[in-house]
Structure 1
Amino acid sequence: MAIQKPSHTFTKIHLKALQTNIFQILFALSFTVFINTFGFAQDIPPKKKGIKPLATKDSVSAKVDSLKTRNTITAKIETDTIKIDSLNKKPKLLKDIVKYSASGYTSVTRRDQKITLYDNAKINYEDMEITAGVIIIDYEKNEVYAKGIVDSLNNYTQKPVFTQGSDVVEPDSIRFNTDTQKALIFNSRTEQSGGYIIAETTKKENDSVYFIDRGKFTTSKDLEDPEYYFLMRKAKIVPGKKVVTGLTNMFIANVPTPIGLPFAYFPLTQKRTSGVIFPSFGEQNNRGYFLQNGGYYFAVSDYFDLALLGDYYTNGSYGMRVESNYAKRYRFRGNLSFRFENLINSERGFPDYSRSSIYNIRWSHSQDAKANPNSRFSASVNLGSSRYYQQSINQLNASNYLNNTLSSSVSYSKTFQGEPQVNISLTATHSQNTNTQTINMTLPTFQGSVGRIFPFAPKGGTKKGIIQNINLQYNTRAENRIQTTDSLFFKKEMFEDAKVGMQHSIPLSTNFKLFDYLSVSAGANFQETWTLNTIEKSFDQATQETVITEKNGFDSFRTYNFSASLGTTLYGMFPFGEDKKIQAIRHVMRPSISYNISPAFNQYYDTYEVISADNLTTTEQEYTRFEQSIFGSPTNNYASSIGISVSNNFEAKVRDRDSTATEPKKITLLNNLNFSTSYNLAGDSLNWSPVRVSGGTKLFKQMNVNFGATLDPYALDSNNNKINTFNIDNGGSLFRLTSANLTTSYSFSNSKSKNDDDRTNSRAQEESRRSGGRDDDLFGKSQDFADKSFNDNEDNAEETSTLYRYKIPWNLRLAYAVNYSNTRRQNEISSHSLMFSGDIELSPRWKVGVSSGYDLKNQGITYTQLRFDRDLKSWRMNFSWIPFSANKQWNFFIGIKSSILQDIKYEKRRQRDRDL
């Protein structure tokens, strides 16, 4: 126990002693205090000083060199007789050098101790700089006065510009004290973090505090006549941090509005900060009043942020969203989103009352290519409830209402450099049909490969001939495949029917030239398949049904096949003359013929007996135990076929309209025109496969056209079944058209809107793309005008012209699709639709858009969205309307575009009114 402080002990004991009259007790307690103060308890006392050893002199004495002693100079310390002045020195008039200049003249008045600078005057002192028409320096009062100049036309020019550090103030006049650093600023204008402050009188207290009287705070670009502002009677400004004001209210076009507060706080910061996200208010018929998209934004760090948003309806429905973005330069970037909605329709007791829960998880991750060249990780996840985009009440999902598929993929790959090179990858995939609610997943898929090995290639030089080009490689693939439904997703039942398997393949191939013009390639492929899922079939005579028994255990089968192909390239030129508009047509044709052979693997097939209940006859049915395995089953049929294909490309040389051009212009007539068919050598009938035709081209530089058709050479009988008779021998044409399709898309606009880079549209398209929808606005545009990340383009300079409506920006996107089916003489158009989406600027700040279509087969208008945008300079007004469909709704928004005042808004939403 260490020494205690006497003050504490005396207080506790002696004050108690004053409450008694017994002197002996007081004396005893005082003695106790003395002991407690200087006593020790369970402590090691300090060690006593040890006995020092006696110092003995060395008997050998060291002699000092006499020469050194003589040359040694003794230093003397002399004391200054002049005493230090006890009075403090008078500080200098200026702490730094004052630099000044003027284009007109510089006048110095010694009597008034003033310096006058005229015309383009400039003064620099420490971190302060003032430029003005006239600057007067009063070095007696340590003040600087600056103002502008009135020219001959009575215009006030060369207004002062006061700069100190990062703060810039543009007043009509200013008085600045160089000693106290205080200033009086009249009619100033300053920019603070995207906002502008216009004040009649400003008092600069120091470098970080300003006080203003009757100031205006606005984000308008027009400071001469701002379309809106907040009038601040008294306010305090801390540059780069905040504006704190008393009574303030909004003025629109210099007209006061009742929108005001007894006090207000405006943040002024260049960094991302956390803060409240104000919700939107509205009403919905079958859910009541609501608060939507309200929450809190967390600026966690420079690499990561987090937003928590929520919705609430008075009938009990609610929703929540968790969104996060992360990035690290030169490493990776991504975003994560989780959305959950508990929806209650109508109210309890009504016949249309229902409740459901929907959710959606999205994750996108991309790795920078420079982070690691030998390994890569990426993710694109979009999974959740199958009916999420159809039932969601958030207007961000308006463009994804027609989504039929949700898909996800998370993969990691790594490359091991060497000879040969080894690649491995691990992938988890997910595919979900929103109509059937069927989900297919692989958790995970492993793939590995060893690079090509040329065992007979020379050590140096190129490989020539059939032997030197022989190469082989090794590939493997393993999967854990799961098929389930939306109701069993992420439950234990979904893993019960999982299928597991692994497939190994070793392809062996070679290639060589034949007669210098023909390219020949030949190869063989050996494949071994492992599986843990097999079946056994038997027949139940009582129920007259086939019983399938699933077995879990390791099993395998092996297959192999051979193939060869022969191809070449033919070039044709059809000249028409250089004086013609079309000078020549160039045709490139690539014919090829291939042969494939695969033996029958009957050793993997078994039989079971089927007994007929009518005549008790027994028949044998053949099956393979690998029928339901993950990679399919081996074939028990001998296959030998010849494949024929021809691909074509057509180009034209056209005389250029430009007379100065020396070369003709090349245009593409057909990007591709392909024909393919095959002949089955091992078949006993219907040996020819249908001829498949496909092609595509681009017209007018913006129009993509793709087409396809299937031509069957065989005829149909009276029951519309295919028979082994050619159609031409049955009284028909050479081929029978069984199916055809045509798709085309066209996008065009005038020159102004063609190059317009609208960040709002880009963000909406990215939102639709991440959700699995279209990014061309044909199904509508994803919009959330009050979103925290909403940001508009800078105001573009308007073109002026004396002509009325000389140019109106517009754009239009068209998509046309038709499908024809005639496999069994139905001769019908299976689908026929036209979709379009476009925007037009009626005026420089009015924009109207529509996304819709027409079903030409069913004679009806497809999913439609109407959009109206009004740019109010500092404000923006939007209206979006889906007039019909199960997702009919409208949304109205008006608010300030600036990010620092984005919560000043009005929003009205109405979704899915009750259908009576």
Structure 2
Amino acid sequence: MHTNNFKILFALSFTVFINTLSFAQDIQTKKDSIKPIVKDVKIVKADSLLTPQLSERAQDSVLTDSVKPKKELLEHIVKYSAIDTNKFNQKQHKLYLYNEAVIDYGDMNIKAGSIIVDYNTNTVYAKGIVDTVGTYTQAPVFTQGSNVVEPDSIVFNTKSQKALIYNSKTEQGEGTVIANVTKKENDSVYFLKNAKYTTAEDLEDPEYYIKLRKAKIVPGKKIVTGLANLFFYDVPTPLGLPFGFFPQTEKHTSGVIIPSFGEQNDRGYFLQNGGYYFAISDYIDLAVLGDYYTNGSYGMRMESTYSKRYKFRGNIGFRYENLINSERGFPDYSKNTIYNIRWSHSQDSKSNPNSRFSASVNLGSSTYYRSSINQINTGAFLNNTLSSSVSYSKTFHGEPQVNFSLTATHSQNTNTEQINMTLPTFQGSVGRMYPFASKTGSKKGIIQNINLQYNVRGENRIQTTDSLFFKKEMFDDARAGFQHSIPLSTNFKLFKYFSLSASTNYNEVWTFKTISKSFDPIERKEVIEDVNGFDSFRTYNFSTSLGTTIYGMFDFQKEGKDRKIQAIRHVIRPSISYNINPAFDKYYDSYEVISADGLTTSDVDYSRFERGVFGTPNKNFSSSMGISVSNNIEAKVRDKDSTATKPKKITILNNLNFATSYNFAGDSLQWSPVRMSGGTQLFNNKMSVNFGATLDPYALDNNNNRIDKFNIDNGGSLFRLTSANLTTSWSISSKKGDKKDKKSRGIEENLRSGGRDDDMFGVSEDFANNQFNEEDKEEEKPSALYNSPIPWSLRLAYAVNYSNSRRQNEISSHSLMFSGDIELSPKWSIGASSGYDLKNAGFTYTQLRFERDLLSWRMNFSWIPFSSRSSWNFFIGIKSSILKDLKYEKRKQPDQRL
């Protein structure tokens, strides 16, 4: 009895607990009740004086025992429930729970069809139950902390926290471990034998798995295995490792990035996209990748992403490639170094409403996208410009409001290798002020609407070339200056229906470098010298405009007739303006051109501000009138929906604009050509159409030069068509194809590289680094008839330009671009991007894409069949990021052309 006191106390505690909350289902035999023996008890109240008082010195130290009390038998409250059976056997000291049984003890939770708790051995045994049709149901679900195990049965010791788990399925990160027998050593260590690790969705019949002969699992941290190899549908493959390590963590961790390998014609064997990932913190990371070719070529890339919630987010990338063509000593040997820097930063608008910082940087070698052999640059191959902008702005609220901003910009033409930069641009403004307006009520009349503001702009402009970029020489020709402007304007109603506005503008320009021109009689050429020092000029002008809006309605409705077109509304906005610019010829100088015999042949006028940042002042007096008319046409039609109570409004013409001007100060050719532009949307806004034309009223002479004679007076028409253009874009798709997200990762990469926001010029693809994002697929309703909808989408872009300014009467450009995607089946999809040059009769840059969903795997194939970028790339790999290095990639890269 004395040796089993622990077990007896454990059983008695559960007995008391059960008897207070439930009734036993055992039928007890009737026995004579034992009457309690009652004895008289005399209670004597002890006098405090009779109790001996102990002094503090006389007290024995044994009274204050230093031995800690024994740990309670149960550390937590036990909660349990079941539907059919809830019984405690006092003889066997066992608790029986049946049908949807649940036990909660601390952080442990067990749900099963049947649970037996043996208090003698501190063991919990849980298993499922077999229903009337012989199906095994209510299999146990064992949860401890964040770890969840779904076995067929489990034996768990509540004292040692050890367990034996049979036929379990345990989620570990993105994968699942399936084991016949699992030994739970403690809360943080599991041992397995002959287990399977897979990321498949169908765990009953996984299409692949990695067989683990022996394994140790530390939940949330790692899986360490012995001999392991890959199986496809229970068929073993020779792909395996003598030991393996699978990190399992919810946090970012550092690690090695496995490279891809292959061969290229003129560079030999290579390793690409290998390196190391640094998980610096929860806010920033860094990936360092590199390429190496056996002929000596190499490349490196650094990509970093940073983010802080409700504050900002961004990414920085640097790419460098040292490309060697052929072998040293051969005539076609060449070496080329290219680089690219990208930075994107965006600030949360709520973090600081009064100030904002943003950045979008894309700069580097002009030939980078054409020379790079990285697959991710495929969609940016046709980029002609690189542009960057970094800006900071701040607003000071008040009356008036003050704003200022600092911006650094960069624009680079990759064909001419010309680079224009502003380092930096400063802009400041003081908000609009109404000095004569009343403090209360609305502003009325010409006086109260008088307003003025102040603007200042400063620039340090640099123009250089690709070869001098980031070198000292690029700063030698930098031009800096400031421009101050004070616009003063007012507006008011005239004759109720007309709006009249008038404005004048004072402009002052400061510059720190001017020029001086002279003629060199020896070299017989113009000589330009820079003059350092502060200089300035001031100008002003005046303008006014008068406009109105005319509404016209054509009603087609008649009583008793329900016509399809019920009404057409035409909105016309005519406007006439007048501008006057005085002559500021005092800012102009001249130099004499001397002939070879020493005589002055002519005087050449010039302005010392010609190379300034903000241009030159007007030399000639200008007085001109501008005329413009804009149109908008809409229609009300009968809605196809019979339940609609109102007609449907559609747009016939979004805009149709005409504009011209007349120069009163000109001595000839006073009328400028009429410029016409317009646009509309068709097919429920699926197709956009934009067009424009230039109409010249003057005729041409025999040398195809404009003369001061109207074309109609020269035997021609009223206007002469000198140029025209038409652009259309049409996007059509099936109902399901229309739901697909067009902003894929490839298109986002195109935008970051300065390309288009569509796939007309192809899509940047890096299959090995692209995690597969499965789309939410709608559940199809079963039908008696076979029906397989095929989602598809098609995008078309058509452009044509006509030129006839000098009677050339030619189509200067004529092209059709198209791209599309089609899902042949739920698992097969193909896409293409191409175009056709109708003028030169040839296909443009073409890319074909194929994709196959292999359940837990994916297969991609990209092919550029022709052009200088002719190449293909094949990839097959696991979707899950934890096993993304389990892949096969084969590619044929484009031959380098320098």
Is this a same-fold pair by TM over 0.5?
Answer: yes
Amino acid at match of 1:611: I
Deviations 1:515-537 (A, max 9, x none): 11110011111111111222222
**Deviation by residue 1:793-834 (Cα, 9 ceiling, x = unmatched):** 267466355544530011111111111111001111111111
Aligned residue in 1 for 2:122: 142
SS of the residue corresponding to residue 446 of structure 2 reads helix
| Other-structure match for 1:259 | 239
Report the alpha carbon displacement of residue 412 of structure 1 after superposing the two structures with TM: 1.1
> Where does structure 1 lack aligned partners over 5 or more consecutive residues?
1-71
* Secondary structure of the structure 1 residue equivalent to 2:736: helix
C-alpha separation between the residues in 2 aligned to 1:232 and 1:178? 28
Among 624, 638, 658, the alignment partner of 2:607 is: 624
Give the match for residue 874 of structure 2.
892
| Residue 346 (structure 2) aligns with | 366
Given that 2:761 and 2:845 are in contact with CA atoms closer than 8 Å, whether structure 1 keeps it comes out as: yes
Specify which of 582, 588, 592 is matched with residue 609 of structure 1: 592
| Conserved? CA contact 1:285–1:914, under 8 Å | no
Equivalent position SS for 1:542: coil
Paired AA for residue 832 in structure 2 = V
User: d(CA) in 1 for partners of 2:712 and 2:52?
Assistant: 131
Deviates more, 1:762-771 or 1:647-656: 762-771
Please tell me whether the aligned partners of residues 215 and 232 of structure 1 are also in contact (alpha carbons under 8 angstroms): yes
Structure 1: distance between partners of 2:173 and 2:375 = 31
| Inter-partner Cα distance in structure 2 for 1:470 and 1:289 | 74
Structure 2 residue corresponding to 1:333, chosen from 305, 308, 313: 313
The answer to whether the aligner puts 1:570 opposite 2:556 as a matched pair is: no
Corresponding residue for residue 818 of structure 2: 836
Letter in 2 for 1:738: T
Worse-matched range after superposition: 148-157 or 441-450: 148-157
Match of residue 484 from structure 2:
504
Alignment-derived partner of residue 866 in structure 1: 848
Structure 1 642/140 Cα, relative in aligned 2: closer, same or farther at 3 Å?
same
Per mean C-alpha deviation after superposition, the further-off stretch among 465-474 and 735-744 is: 465-474
- Alpha carbons of 1:914 and 1:822: their partners in 2 closer, same or farther (altered >3 Å)? same
Displacement after TM superposition at 1:286 (Å): 0.8
Deviations 1:252-309 (A, max 9, x none): 1110000111111111111111111111111100111111111111111111111101
| Aligned counterpart for 1:634 among listed residues 613, 617, 629 | 617
**2:759 aligned with 1:780:** no
Q: Which amino acid aligns with 2:621?
A: Y
> Does residue 835 of structure 2 align to residue 853 of structure 1?
yes
Note the C-alpha offset of 1:501.
Answer: 1.3
Q: Which residue in 1 is equivalent to 2:648?
A: 665
1:159 — aligned with what? 139
- Could you tell me which residue of structure 2 aligns to residue 526 of structure 1? 506
Give 1:715's aligned residue: 699
The Cα shift of 1:333 comes to 1.1
2:710 to 726, 742, 747: 726
- Sequence identity of aligned pairs in percent? 72
Counterpart amino acid of 2:152? D
Cα distance in 1 between the residues matched to 2:328 and 2:75: 79
Choose which of 783, 786, 794 in structure 2 pairs with 1:812.
Answer: 794
Take 2:98 and 2:443, find their aligned partners in 1: how far apart are those partners?
Answer: 85
* Alpha carbons 2:868, 2:895 under 8 Å: kept: no
1:232-271 correspondence runs (5 A)? 232-271=212-251
Q: 1:77 aligns with which of 42, 54, 57?
A: 54
1:447 aligns with 2:427: yes
1:95 deviates by 4.0
Moved more, 77-86 or 682-691: 77-86
CA offsets, 1:882-907, max 9 Å, x none?
Answer: 11111111111111111111111111
1:703 positional shift: 0.8
CA shift for structure 1 position 97:
3.6
Cα distance in 2, alignment partners of residues 460 and 85 from structure 1: 86
* Distance of 2:621 and 2:140 partners within structure 1: 95
SS in 2 for 1:772: coil
CA distance in 2, matches of 1:530, 1:106: 94
Measured against aligned partners, the alpha-carbon deviations of 1:101-123 in whole angstroms (never above 9, x if no partner) come to: 22222344333332322222222
The 1-side partners of 2:145 and 2:138 are apart by 21
Which whole-Å CA distance do the structure 1 matches of 2:405 and 2:141 have between them?
63
1:237-386 aligned within 5 A? 237-386=217-366
Q: Which residue of 2 aligns with 1:19?
A: none
Distance in 2 of aligned mates of 1:416 and 1:74? 84
Whether 2:367 is the aligned partner of 1:387: answer yes
Structure 2 residue corresponding to 1:756, chosen from 730, 737, 740:
740
**Superposition deviation, residue 75 in structure 1:** 10
CA distance in 2, matches of 1:385, 1:342: 12
- Give the TM-score taking structure 2 as reference length: 0.91
- SS of residue matched to 1:751: coil
SS of 1:111 mapped into structure 2: coil
- Range with greater deviation from structure 2 (409-418 or 822-831): 409-418
Once the two structures are TM-superposed, the CA of residue 693 in structure 1 deviates from its matched residue by: 0.5
Mapped partners of 1:81, 1:465: distance in 2: 102
Larger Rg: 1
Whether the 8 Å contact between 2:325 and 2:896 is mirrored in structure 1 is no
Change (3 A) 1:493 1:125: same
Structure 1 residue 125 displacement after superposition: 2.1
- Render the CA deviation track for 1:222-268: whole Å, top value 9, x for unaligned: 10000110111111111111111111111011100001111111111
Map Cα deviations across residues 664-721 of structure 1 (whole Å, 9 max, x no partner). Answer: 1100111111000000111111111000001111111211111111011111111111
| Counterpart selection for 1:210 from 190, 211, 217 | 190
Q: Which residue pairs with 2:774 in the alignment?
A: 793
Contact 1:280 1:293 in 2 (8 A): yes
Partner letter of residue 618 of structure 1?
Answer: T
Change over 3 Å in CA distance of 1:133–1:543 after alignment to 2: same
Q: Matches of 2:230 and 2:91 in 1, distance apart?
A: 51
Q: Which runs of 5+ in 2 are unaligned?
A: 1-48
Give matches, 1:401-440, under 5 Å.
Answer: 401-440=381-420
Q: Partner residue of 1:680?
A: 663
Distance 1:153 1:913 in 2: 67
CA distance in 2, matches of 1:98, 1:194: 33
Whole-angstrom CA distance in 1 between matches of 2:311 and 2:527: 56
Number of residues paired by the alignment?
Answer: 841
Distance 1:686-1:82 versus aligned 2 partners, 3 A rule: closer
Q: Which moved more, 1:551-560 or 1:800-809?
A: 800-809
For 1:339 and 1:908, the matched residues in 2 are separated by: 23
What is the distance in 2 between the residues matched to 1:429 and 1:89? 75
Structure 2: distance between partners of 1:169 and 1:544: 93
In the alignment, which residue of structure 2 is the partner of 1:45? none
Match of 1:737 among 713, 721, 724: 721
Match of 2:8 in 1: none
Counterpart of 1:106 in structure 2 is 86
Match for residue 490 of structure 1 among 463, 467, 470? 470
In the alignment, the residues of structure 2 paired with residue 557 and residue 518 of structure 1 have an alpha-carbon distance, to the nearest angstrom, of 37
Report if the CA contact (8 A) 1:795-1:873 is conserved: no
Aligned residue number for residue 95 of structure 2: 115
SS of the equivalent of 2:165 reads strand
Q: Tell me the secondary structure at the aligned position of residue 748 of structure 2.
A: helix
What amino acid maps onto 1:420 in structure 2?
A: P
Is the contact made by 1:117 and 1:135 (CA closer than 8 Å) also made in structure 2?
A: yes
Indicate if the aligned counterparts of 1:798 and 1:844 stay in contact, CA closer than 8 A.
no
